[in-house]
Structure 1
Amino acid sequence: MFVVLRKYRNGSHKFKLKPAVYRLKSTTAKKDFAAAYNPKLIEENADNSEYFYATNNGRKYSLILPPPNITGILHLGHALAVTVEDVLVRWHRMRGFDTVWVPGMDHAGIATQVVVEKKLYKEKGLTRHDFGREAFEKEVWKWKEEKEEVIGGQLKRMGVKLDWPRQMFTLDRKQSVAVTEAFIKLYDSGLIYRSDYLVNWSCVLRSAISDVEVEHLEVTGRTELPVPGYDTPVVFGQLSHFAYKLYDVEPTGSLQGDGEIVVATTRPETIPGDVAVAVNPNDSRYAHLIGQYVWHPLRNEKIPIIGDSFVDSDFGTGAVKVTPAHDHNDFEVAKRHGLTSIQVIDEEGKLSDSCGNLAGMRRFDARKALLDELNKLNLLRGTQDHRMIVPICGRSRDVVEFLSKPQWFVRCTDMAKRALRDYENGNLTIEPEHFGKNWTTWLENIRDWCVSRQLWWGHRVPVYFCGSDVDTTPKASNTRTTIAVAARNIDEARSKAAALLSRPPDTLHIRQDEDVLDTWFSSALLPFSAFGWPQQTEDLKKLYPLSIMETGHDILFFWVARMVMLGTQLTGQLPFSKILLHGIVCDAHGRKMSKSLGNVISPEDVIHGSTLKELENALDKNYKSGLITKEEFNKAIAGQKKMFPEGIPQCGADALRFTLCSHNIKNHFVNFDVQECKINKFFGNKIWQAVKFANKWIETVLVAQEIGNLKYESLGKMDKWILSKLSGMVKIVNDSMERYEFHNATAALKNFIYYEFCDIYLESAKRGLRSTESKAAAGHIWTMVVCLDVGLRCTAPFMPVLSSHLHERLNVESVLTFTPRRFDFPQEEAQWSCPTIEDEVDGIMEVVASIRRLKKLFNVTAKHKPKAILVTRSSIYTDYLNTIQDLSGCNTIQIHQDIERKDDMVVDKIGDVTILLEVPQELRDKFDVDVRKLQVKKSKLVGELEKIKAMTSTEGYKLNATEKTKEVNAKKIAGLEEKITRINYMESFTK
């Protein structure tokens, strides 16, 4: 016979006898129940089938994994995104949602091409041009296959439940169809156009890059910066002044004596491309010169002085050079005034043929040469330090050049207005909310999106130049006999062009554009292309729009905004209604993870552990593959030795996941400490031991007794207390999950399981369990199993392998009956909430803590058979006498309303209770505290505390200090206060 607690509709609970056929749960599953938690053992042998689930309630929950780039392996930033999304998916599955989570990989055009080029050059000394386009693409596909397998393996080791049969790649056939269709629809709607325009050009990549791939580095004065391809740093942050001599058109056609206009520039290398000098028409110093000319000394020709309100009269001399081919403002000025454009820097970053004897010179070498030439001509007027913004390519670290080139652009203004309107109307929400301001600012100031890239790896632009000339060039697309058409293939292009030109198809020559599309264009389509768009599939109808888009805040504009704009434009509805942005993962010291710092950690380093030598070998492999430089390699080695002198301990995937979710993911930065993972591995072992303990007593108690009816009201106070705490924990976890505050959920779980359940409840229950035939023992058994069943189900989204492994081995069916058996996510049991009992136990735990402090202070141990007396007139403590004795580790506890303190007693007072602890004479004699030293130490601590409190209370600190700084200082304050309290406590025994 064994006992089962059934819950009746009236809320009562009864233990009922069950026939012998319902024996204890089979012990087969417990044969592999090891003595301690070993994550490696259970994770490598984990069953991949779904363990926790709930009956499908008809609601859907769909999302896509932000596809990792195939440029390398996953790092902890990916691990954070993967963990957060897996937690959400598991939580929804356990609540009955039909969930779909689509995995994928991104071809990452520029990044992948760069990394493969480096690898090939390092290994074979060959460039992509040596290979040729077709052969080079084959090499990249080989790279893709290798990395896809590695990344897939990493994701699986994280224990995630992705829908692997749906896996896609942004360059696979289905995605290519979607990209082509999207381009054609936008092109035919007039939202894609081709134009000569200034683009952000990386001379290292030989490609245009988008605005959001440009980093803006501010320098406040003369600053030396490393530039790829230059042996020595290049100077930025200087303003050079030089003179343009006035030119008299009539009547002499010569220079006007000493007349000149001085201009200032941070880019002397572009002087050969100056086509005008501009002044503000309201500037009285120069207004009379508008319409006159100056002499260009390097080209030996005159250029006009123009008036335009864009000129800031307070900048420099109030007169500026106009170089349309290399500056965005100048480009617009030239269009307004009908000026020509002269490109003087080419795609390789060298001066063009239009620069005469300087042609072929590198741009920053030419800077000095041009200043020297101006000095020889007596036109240089000095140099001064100047605050400026240097545009840096986020991919290559090259200084971005602005070049005028024919490129494909997406018109964004109307789409941006719609995205902004959806946010303002509440149709689209962003977490954390403060990113809404960034969203608004960016969309209100959006520029057209350059989507063409001069690469070989990517989706070819589906545009065909069609005409009668076999050497059809892109520029010829503006003539009447040559046009550009967007088409799915060359045959469709021929048919379209023939109809538009009224020409026989076989008379046309066709050539596809050589460029590829920006990677972000293809990835922006994923919310719907992942489900079969442009085909109207059942998946698309059912799973689109997505339920949520979760990703890092650093790609809010790279990716998220573009998904919203293109998704709404192409499908007629928002691709998702919620955006959840997580922070950037940094190391334990708050530094961004960097190859050169040696603080980059891969998930498997934490999951399986890694020796320092293994970490070094991984770096060496990257160096030999050309992925990092020798300098980066040496710095990284030094960084690793400093951060991980003993290597990284094995923690397991569950501990890694729990640690990542223990931080507020909404913070701008998420600081990751390997030691926290180690601690959370110990937390896993705590749960492991609790289940082992429960199973042992389940067998012992249920075999020893036959129990009649027992109502819930008959449970002991500590049983009711832990059930009340359990109900509160479940509520906090569910509320926190709803708000994406995973750190509050994990904190509640850890506090309940580790402290309240294991350290307090189980210790208090041992006395009752030893009386195996008592009702107290039966009540403890049921309570333990309920707490562990609910606790494991609450923990499951965060630590899925450990939770399912232990839940499967917990003798749930031996104590509880479910119809059907519950594997869903727990909900709050409000009827178990009992604030009165919680208050009572809070009080007795203060008494327990006081007794423990006294014992520790005087070094009273079990061999001294400690005895304590509680002096109080409250009857509450009588109900908890055994609990106080067990938890405080005393041999005896007595309660008196009044008693005289003896000489061998030390005293403390907590609320309405006076605690007296007997301390042997020899221990009291040893307690010799140097009061003077205590006071000196206390004075120093108080001084430190006052200083840090004064700093943190200022308005400037509250507004400007980072969240990490505030967190660190808050911990310092708490630590100092705790030390001072301890000294005060010790001083009280010397008086």
Structure 2
Amino acid sequence: MDDINAKTDKLEMAKTYDSSIVEGKWYQYWEDNKFFHEEVDKDKQPFSIVMPPPNVTGALHLGHAMDSTIQDIVTRFKRMQGYNTLWVPGTDHAGIATQAKVEAQIAKEGTNRHELGREKFLERVWDWKHQYGGRITQQLRRLGSSCDWERERFTMDEGCSRAVREAFVDLYDKGLIYRGNYIVNWCPKCHTTISDIEVEHNDRDGNLYHLSYPVKDSEETLVVATTRPETMLGDTAVAVHPEDERYRHLIGKTLILPLVNREIPIIADEYVDREFGTGAVKITPAHDPNDFEVGLRHHLPQVIVMDKEAKMNENAGKYQGMDRFEARKAVVEDLKNLGVLLKIDAHAHAVGECYRCSTIIEPMVSKQWFVKMEPLAKPAIEVVRDGRLEFVPERFDKIYLGWMENIRDWCISRQLWWGHRIPVWYCEKCGAEVCAKEDPTSCPTCGSTQLSQDPDVLDTWFSSGLWPFSTLGWPEATPELEQFYPTSVLVTGRDIIFFWVARMIFMAMEFKKEVPFRKVMIHGLVLDSQGRKMSKSLGNGVDPIEVIDNYGADTLRFMLITGNTPGNDLRFHPERLEATRNFSNKIWNASRYVLLNLEDYEAGPRGDLALADRWILDRYAATVEGVTSALEKYDLGEAGRLLYEFIWNEYCDWYIELTKPRLYNKEDKAARHTAQSVLLEVLEGTMRLLHPFMPFLTEEIWQNFPGSGKSIMMQPWPEVPAYRDAAAEKNMTLLMDAIKAIRNIRAEMKVAPGQKVEIIILAPDPGQREVLESGQGDILKLAGGASIQLHAALAEKPTQSASAVLEGVEIYLPLKGMMDLGKEIARLEKEIGAVIQDKEALEKKLSNPGFTGKAPAAVVAKERERLEGLLARKEALEVRLKELKED
């Protein structure tokens, strides 16, 4: 409260909050004052986080918006807690996507990259990056992201490029990077390999073709079933299960491959599923990843029958030059004519597609660069098993471990020009292979200067796998690396655990011998209202910038992190934006009301606290504790819910209303001053709690506080107040329940809002009676009462009255001439039903040993006390119902 203890003149706040004016103004102010930047401070505990680098080609989508909002909330929270805070922003060069953008651009000019040449083409890509690459970082500013833009990185900047070269050469020298022929996922449209996890598998309708292969020197045939008959041209064996009695006599014999007339062996391998198709499987090692593994085990030749365009090549005989799907039709027709196509069954199956362009992937044997994953995976598995690195929610560690334990070698070469070029040179004279951190000028083996560099570039994920430490200066031992590494937490979507998270972990364990981050906070995806992924094809995408233009960044941010649990997908319902904007307006109006009533306020000791004051201070203390605890556990949705409930229901709807008589009574200066003081203290502290979630709105409000400093974001996070008052909470709850009960009766009986009603309250307990007596003024004002009668006992219950039953208290509203007896009976029956439902649920909970045995004793005791209250309430309601039926 030190910053708001100065005397203030009457403040002028706009009647309505206009986010379009406020947001740009404050973001520029924060950035100009370098509030997002901190130098290394050894006297402070570090907190660091790296932004998952969005593609330099990209525009902000709702997934980015959720991801960045979470990171910003956590960063602002830690900054206010006094940590030496660093949030590193940056972008990824996005090899495939960026090259495709520029290729499309130059195609409109009537040329292509091959005509331009590598050097000229790369100049065009860099030009494109400089022109368009900053779009998404500007959009992140619109969202309110408080990252340190002075430390912004790019995966192909000088520092990151050096780190990539260092890592590649080190792995190469250790024998963990090798070059060899291997089955890869080839995209015929992007003209490059993509990794296993970049292949999207989608169900498609297809066919299962049953083909008859003749056994050599026999009348027998062996029937195989395939979904891709065109690949039979590359068959080098047919496999059966070694324990399949149907085919055991054929193992070791030879088949004649139809159309090609090549002799191929019949082999036994446990890979074969005896229940699928005929139980005999054609083996095409060069065009199927499973067949490739079978081929290695049995030393089968690899016959490649397609080229990089997915057209049939010279090994395909007369089908050479045909597109693979055109060839399929021709092969099927020829097999029919030969009489070896026995039948065709409709068959839906999963087909691999390129995640970038949706082209069907062609598995193909190709010479590529690979990383040996088994030795790198082991330490990356151990750090999760032993708890050095934790997933939030915890369930994602099982998904991570399942993938890491079954990982295959990682193909890291891409047939692109945009990216980190592989630092390997080939001597044209002696054939030596040179891998070096600096470009070599001559062959170290023979001295020749005739060296040619490998034309391929590295998989984009190679450079982003180094991101947590390359952005801090590695391989140099920088002060930032020493202070901020390992980073504190990684925030990312569940869909890139394997793309990125796993690679960062094993890269960090290899090069830093330490985890890259202590925790990984996984959030779900943002889906449309029907639970579908957002996509251009469905036309269901939502542009976050349009949402910000219409509703404001704070509304979008708060909507994205509330109403959801950690790790789960979020459905985007537009109506939730309206509800959140209403919340923003509620905060603005309440703040404006409080601040406009401070014209005569001076800081100083306050007088006796009213029940409402003690209650709101107790609730504020509980909210600070709850929000802080939830944020420490990265349960942002729960923290947002607690703030919403406190601000809307308790502070605005109740406390402000309860203070109005004192605020408006300028004769009783002590009472007015106390109300002002508590209103201001709680509002100021609440704005600090809310700031990480709604930075713009809270800054605008906070700047209107008397004696405010430079920025709310530089203020300390509220400490949990020592003030707690359980009695105030209990007594205030009774008073609010009484007011709510009277309001409910009025609403259900359709009593006109302006019509005052007589209120009769039966409160046998002296303590409850005292609370209700002291709160008579509040009851009359807030429940529309004309008068109140408080009784310890009643000789007889009022006739023709509607009633409500609280724990230990009965309320009657004589409504002679206004009450429908049948309607009141129905209302009481409904209320009894609700009480019974609550009672049964509570009884079930208390009969569960999992709850009574694990929950704190105080919690269990409170639930038992609540059950007793429900039983008493049920009994009183039933008595009242009986009385009404007898009237």
Q: Identify the TM-score tier after normalising by the shorter chain.
A: 0.7 to 0.9
Matching residue of 1:964: none
Aligned mates of 2:83, 2:554 — CA distance in 1: 23
* Structure-2 separation of matches of 1:867 and 1:929: 21
Query: Would you say 1:671 and 2:571 are equivalent positions?
Result: yes
| Worse overlay, 302-311 or 413-422 | 302-311
Equivalences for residues 446-845 of structure 1 within 5 A? 446-468=407-429, 481-491=430-440, 494=442, 497-498=443-444, 501=445, 503=446, 505=447, 507-609=448-550, 651-664=551-564, 666-700=566-600, 702=602, 714-772=608-666, 773-811=668-706, 823-830=715-722, 832-845=723-736
One-letter code of the match for 1:60? Answer: P
Partner Cα separation in structure 2 for residue 987 and residue 746 of structure 1: 44
Q: 1:169 aligns with which of 154, 157, 182?
A: 154
From 25, 48, 55, give the equivalent of 1:69: 55
Give deviations 1:423-482, integer Å, cap 9, x for gaps: 1111111111111111111111000000001112211111111131xxxxxxxxxxxx31
CA deviation profile, 1:915-935 (whole Å, cap 9, x unmatched) = 2324473x44xx597899x89
Q: How far apart are 1:356 and its partner, in Å?
A: 1.7
- Against the structure 1 CA distance between its residues 408 and 665, is the aligned structure 2 distance closer, same or farther, given a 3 Å change threshold? farther
| Distance in structure 2 (CA, Å) of the matches to 1:383 and 1:902 | 84
Corresponding residue number in structure 2 for 1:406: 367
Cα distance in 2 for residues equivalent to 1:283 and 1:97:
66
2:211 pairs with one of 242, 247, 252: 242
1:189-588 superposed matches below 5 A: 189-218=174-203, 223=205, 236=206, 238-248=207-217, 256=218, 258-386=219-347, 388-468=349-429, 481-491=430-440, 494=442, 497-498=443-444, 501=445, 503=446, 505=447, 507-588=448-529
**Corresponding position of 2:778:** 883
Shift, 1:889, TM fit = 2.8
Does the aligned pair in 2 maintain the 1:461–1:513 contact within 8 Å? Answer: yes
Structure 1: distance between partners of 2:489 and 2:298 = 48
Say if 1:915 and 1:668 are closer, same or farther in 2 by CA, change over 3 A: closer
Deviates more, 1:102-111 or 1:318-327: 318-327
Report the secondary structure of 1:45's partner residue: helix
- Native 8 Å contact 2:36 2:148 kept in 1: no
Q: Is the 8 A contact 1:277 1:322 kept in 2?
A: yes
Q: How does 1:841-856 map to 2 (within 5 A)?
A: 841-856=732-747
Residues 325-382 of structure 1, C-alpha deviation per residue, up to 9 Å, x if partnerless? 1122322333333322211111111111112211011111211211221221222222
Deviations 1:798-827 (A, max 9, x none): 1112212212212368xxx9xx99921112
Task: Indicate how the Cα distance of structure 1 residues 508 and 907 shifts in structure 2: closer, same or farther if over 3 A, else same.
Answer: closer
Q: Which residue of structure 2 aligns with residue 25 of structure 1?
A: 8
Name the amino acid aligned to 1:141.
Answer: W
1:862: how far off? Answer: 5.2
Structure 1 residues 989 and 747: alpha-carbon distance in aligned structure 2, compared to 1, 3 A threshold: farther
Q: Name the aligned partner's letter for residue 483 of structure 1.
A: A
From the superposition, tell whether residues 887 and 187 of structure 1 become closer, same or farther in structure 2 (CA, over 3 Å): same
The separation in 2 between residues aligned to 1:904 and 1:273, in whole angstroms, is 92
**Cα pair distance change 1:165/1:716, threshold 3 Å:** same
Q: What is the one-letter code of the residue matched to 2:738? A: V
Letter in 2 for 1:541: E
Shift of 1:731: 0.8
Q: Contact between 1:195 and 1:408, CA under 8 Å: does it hold in 2?
A: yes
Structure 1: distance between partners of 2:397 and 2:883: 54
User: For the structure 1 residues 312 and 757, does the alpha-carbon distance in structure 2 shift closer, same or farther, using more than 3 Å as the test?
Assistant: closer
Q: 1-side partners of 2:883 and 2:17: how far apart?
A: 44
Query: Does 2:854 match 1:893?
Result: no
8 Å Cα contact 2:56-2:134 kept in structure 1 = no
With over 3 angstroms needed to count, the CA separation of the structure-2 counterparts of 1:375 and 1:51, relative to structure 1, is: closer
User: Aligned AA for 2:233?
Assistant: P
If the length of structure 1 is used for normalisation, what is the TM-score? Answer: 0.79
Tell me the amino acid that sits aligned with residue 247 of structure 1.
K
CA–CA distance in structure 1, aligned partners of residues 687 and 8 of structure 2: 18
After superposition, the Cα gap between the structure-2 partners of 1:896 and 1:282, relative to the gap in structure 1 and judged at 3 Å, is closer
Cα 1:244–1:857 change in 2 (3 A) is closer
* C-alpha distance in 1 between matches for 2:726 and 2:651: 17
Residues 699 and 987 of structure 1: is their aligned pair in 2 closer, same or farther, counting only changes over 3 Å?
A: farther
Q: Which whole-Å deviations, capped at 9, do the CAs of 1:476-514 have from their partners, x for residues lacking one?
A: xxxxx312221234425x2xx32xx3x2x2x34211111
* SS of corresponding position for 2:440: helix
**For residues 352 and 668 of structure 1, what CA distance do their matches in structure 2 show?**
47
Cα distance per residue 1:909-956 (max 9 Å; x no partner) = 3333232324473x44xx597899x89x99xx99xx9xxx9xxxxxxx
Give the match's secondary structure for 1:548. strand
The 1:907/1:795 distance shift into structure 2, 3 A limit, reads: same
- Summarize the Cα distance change of 1:319–1:854 in structure 2 as closer, same or farther, 3 Å threshold: closer
Question: Which residue identity does 1:732 align to in structure 2?
Answer: G
Q: 1:989 to 1:775 in 2, by over 3 A?
A: farther
The Cα shift of 1:386 comes to: 4.2
* 1:72-87 to 2 correspondences below 5 Å: 72-87=58-73
1:859 aligns with 2:750: yes
Question: Which residue identity does 1:212 align to in structure 2?
Answer: I
Partners of 2:236 and 2:301 within 8 A in 1: yes
- Partner SS, residue 299 of structure 1: coil
Secondary structure class of the residue paired with 2:534? coil
State the match for 1:39 in structure 2. Answer: 19
- Are 1:72 and 1:147, in contact at CA under 8 Å, matched by a contact in 2? no
Structure 1 pair 693/364, CA: closer, same or farther in 2 (3 Å)?
same
Counterpart Cα distance in 1 of 2:352 and 2:541: 26
Q: Deviations over 1:278-335 (max 9, x none)?
A: 3334444433333332222322332233333433444433332221111223223333
Partner letter of residue 486 of structure 1?
C
Which of residues 187, 196, 208 is equivalent to 2:172?
A: 187
The structural deviation recorded for 1:697 is 2.7
Asked if structure 2 preserves the Cα contact closer than 8 Å seen for 1:458 and 1:517, the reply is: yes
Partner Cα separation in structure 1 for residue 36 and residue 882 of structure 2: 54
Structure 1's unaligned 5+ residue stretches are: 8-17, 224-235, 249-255, 469-480, 610-650, 950-980
- CA RMSD, aligned part only? 3.2
Contact 2:755 2:784 in 1 (8 A): no
Deviation at 1:849, TM superposition (A): 1.0
Number of residue pairs aligned between Structure 1 and Structure 2: 829
Check the 8 A contact 1:52/1:793 in 2, yes or no: no
- Call closer, same or farther: CA 1:906–1:393 in 2, change over 3 Å: same
Letter in 1 for 2:85: T
Relative to 1, partners in 2 of residues 1:388 and 1:6: Cα closer, same or farther, differing over 3 Å?
Answer: closer
Q: How far, CA to CA, are the matches of 1:854 and 1:398 in structure 2?
A: 64
- Identity fraction in percent: 38
1:113 to 82, 95, 99: 99
Distance in 2 separating the partners of 1:92 and 1:458: 35
1:140 aligned residue? 125
In structure 2, what is the Cα distance between the partners aligned to 1:112 and 1:100?
A: 29
Matched, 1:156 2:141: yes
Aligned partners of 2:236 and 2:284 also within 8 Å: yes
Structure 1 residues 129 and 893, CA, compared in 2 at 3 Å: closer, same or farther? farther
* Residue identity in the other structure for 1:209: I
More displaced stretch, 380-389 vs 672-681: 380-389
Point out where structure 2 has 5 or more consecutive residues left out of the alignment: 842-873
